[in-house]
Amino acid sequence: MESEAPFACDRMSFAQWLQFIFIPKMNDILKTQNPLPTRMALLPMAEEWNKGRQKSAPERRQVLEVIAQIDSLFSGKFI
């Protein structure tokens, strides 16, 4: 995919980016035993993606919580 924009936001939604880029890339890193990222900041983009959507949707809250945990894990601050 040819995109210069962060999270390929000019080509796909954040959910699509997670599904088609982030998860496969992380799987490849694990399979090839390459070094894991030492920092991540997915939560700000996830929060932006969530704006204007149903605030009470439990699935969205769960996704945001998992993304926050991923950011913390790769920053060495896992809670």
What residue type is 48 in one-letter code? E
pLDDT tens, 26-66? 999 999 999 988 888 999 999 988 886 766 678 888 889 99
Instruction: Read off the tokens for 43.
Output: 């939560």
What's the whole-model pTM score?
0.77
Of 8-12, 16-20, 73-77, where does the model show the most confidence? 16-20
Number of neighbouring beta carbons within 10 Å of residue 76? 8
